[in-house]
Amino acid sequence: MSRFVDRFVSIRAGLRLRHGAALALLLGLIAPVSELGAQTYGGREFNYPATRQGVTRAQPALRSQTAIPTSRESAVPGRTYPGTDAGRAYPGRGGRVETGRPGRPPRYPGRGGGWGPAAAGIGAGIIGGIILDQAARRPVYDPYEPEPVLPRRPRRPVILDGDDLDEPVLRHPRRPAPLRAAAPARRTPPPVQTARPTPGQPPIIVPAASERRFVADEILVELAPNAQADAVLRRHRATLMSSRRFDLAGVTIIRARLNDGRSARTVLSQMAGDARVASAQPNYLYTLQQDALRPEAPKDEAAQAVPEAASAAAEPVASLPKPEDAAPVLAAPPVIASPELPPVVPLASVAPKRELQPQYVAETLHYDAIHKLARGEKIRVAVIDSGADLAHPELQGVLAGSFDAVGGDTTPHAHGTAMAGAIMAQAQLQGVAPAARLLAARAFSGNSAPASANGTTYHILSALDWAAGEGARVVNLSFAGPQDRLLSRSLAGAKTKGMVAVAAAGNGGANAAPLYPGADPNVIAVTATDAQDKPFAQANRGSYIAVAAPGVDVLAAEPEGRYAFSSGTSIAAAHVSGLVALLLEKRPDLDLEGVRKLLMESAIDLGGKGRNPIFGAGRVDAPAALARTLPVSAARP
């Protein structure tokens, strides 16, 4: 049905007599009508009046009934007939008269009679109008007609050289999609956070009710852009303690003390609705990983265990305070006190009851063999701890720089001294990397007991930034505590700079939750084993543990030239830090992941086959790890 409608519309449009068709139609009408008049035929007069409205039908007029011959043979040349124009001869051959069909007037050539010209003009007008209309109209979509096939653009020939035959050729490259305009910003955009929080953690971290490892009246705040520190602190009734830019973490942190005795948990809950605060969290507390008090041994056994050269320095051992005398001192540390933390009993500087070799670590890690290949030359190792007794005979000539992030009492501390000695001891003891250089960073404060010092997030971040600025390649982190977003960001920044962080797995026990920074993916977590490669009973367990190292009953340096046996994942991590310094001496291009892979692939498998949550990949094998960093010719014996 739609096709007939389209044809009708086309014909009607042709009758509009547009353009040249209208002119042809008018000429065809004017020519014959102008010569029409009264015509006589058979005694009847036919009138063809030409009017302005058009041509009307002819009306016959009765006249004489004289008949006109109807055949050519009866017509006489030169003769006139009544009822016709007198004296006018009929044209034709031999004077014959050609008549039209009966009952109609004859057509006289040259006299303009008949509808021939008019019909031709009308037809030309109709046809021209249809043609012009069809040319001007847009094509009408017909679902029943097949769509025309568009011509395809010819493909360009692809010429391949001999060198390009093996390479894939893209014959039809796609044009890049046009860039779309970005959607308009919302009227009230959320505040911009320059410190991107760790996935799964909100910008404002409110510690759980069971969490006690943070400074009760301090918070760490990062302001949003264009926010005023005075206004924010006034709003939350806090006092500015210090403000610093931490380059490794990429943030500027304000350390604030809360007024009116309010707790950090309460204020952080209120800050969750403040758009001027980009992020905030507690100032977490970390503890050094060292074992507890052991019974005091007789002097003669202590003298036998300590090397002969150090026996003269063993006199202060008898004058050490007894545990019951030292307990009140630890109840309130002088610099950083947290009443929510349980007191830690210090390690006495005595030898165990059973007799051990003075340094079984040297035989386990094969110091004699590895020191022929590397000694840690020009490698700077940062020990972020409680400081060290730099006057100790074992640490003479090893210092490259020191930093104190805490301030206040600077009494030499036992824990930091033991960690530094395990890495680079120079006198009676042997360090893993004796030629390395020490960057001693004090981020923990307390009395001189090995495990009495506490460190905070703010101090540890300051020490990490200082170590990075001093060119440290290895960072020893022999402490443990809660998960900390800011510390994790700083460790990620240290990894980017090529620093290798080694951390203690923690001394929380087999059922303890993961401790940090050991559980952070940006460090190498180390657990402890004894002389028989058995696990340290108090060590943490977990899939984050990478390797194990000697860390039970290890003879270590103590302040004032003394020596003591140390146990824990702290000194195990220090041994691995020294081994990493040897590896970096031979392969300075190694990064954190490269060192981790090398240590785990060369470790001696302990426990079940493969990696396990107790030993990780196994106890480190120093000669095998170092051999993997050397050329084949040098690694062969």
Query: Of 567, 570, 577, 602, which residue is the catalytic one?
Result: 570
Sheet containing strand 59-62, edge to edge, reads 38-41, 44-47, 59-62
Residue matched to tokens 């039809």: 172
Torsion on CA atoms 132, 136, 138, 144, rounded to nearest 10: 10
User: Using a CB cutoff of 8 Å and minimum separation of 24, what contacts does 363-367 make?
Assistant: 364/531, 364/550, 364/619, 365/432, 365/549, 365/550, 365/575, 365/579, 365/620, 365/622, 366/622, 366/623, 367/430, 367/432
Residue matched to tokens 């000429």: 27
- Which structure tokens are listed for 532? 């028989």
- Which structure tokens are listed for 561? 């030239």
Please, are residues 366 and 310 in contact by the beta-carbon 8 Å criterion? Answer: no
- Which structure tokens are listed for 425? 């001891």
415 has catalytic annotation: yes
- Which structure tokens are listed for 76? 């006489």
Does residue 77 have a cis peptide bond before it, meaning omega lies within 30 degrees of 0? no
DSSP H or E segment with residue 235: helix 229-235
Rounded Cα distance between 203 and 237, Å, is 20
Query: Of 133, 217, 385, 520, which residue is the catalytic one?
Result: 385
570 has catalytic annotation: yes
Query: Of 415, 465, 530, 553, which residue is the catalytic one?
Result: 415
Give Rg (Cα) of the chain: 54
Rounded Cα distance between 364 and 370, Å, is 12
Query: Residue 70: left if φ>0, alpha if ψ -120 to 50, beta else—which one?
Result: alpha
**What phi, psi does 496 have (nearest 5°)?**
-60, -35
Sheet containing strand 399-404, edge to edge, reads 399-404, 437-442, 380-385, 474-477, 500-504, 524-529, 545-550
Catalytic site residues? 385, 415, 570
